[in-house]
Structure 1
């Protein structure tokens, strides 16, 4: 339940940010990398 919630919120946020700013690919890569590292960090905390 919590995992689904985090995932859906994260995906919506990413999509809205991408739509808002037509980002360059380099920035997008950095952003996704940062988001994924935070996502897995939070997931790790939740699952413990």
Structure 2
């Protein structure tokens, strides 16, 4: 579990460096907003099945 977490942090750093290097520094906030929106949609979708009304 700890190794997976460290690999995810490393992959995020590499992806950020590639985005800043290949494009402009302004693309990083756009990517973060898109990833946040995807995470929000996953939480909303998962909430329907995770907390079943009694």
Short-chain TM bin: 0.5 to 0.7
Greater helix content: 1
Q: CA RMSD in A?
A: 2.0
Higher relative contact order, chain-length normalized (CA < 8 Å, sep 6+): 1
In structure 1, list runs of 5 or more residues that go unmatched.
Answer: 1-7
Please tell me whether Structure 1 or Structure 2 has the larger radius of gyration of its CA atoms. 2
In structure 2, list runs of 5 or more residues that go unmatched.
Answer: 49-54
Number of residue-to-residue matches in the alignment: 37
When normalised by structure 2's length, the TM-score is 0.52
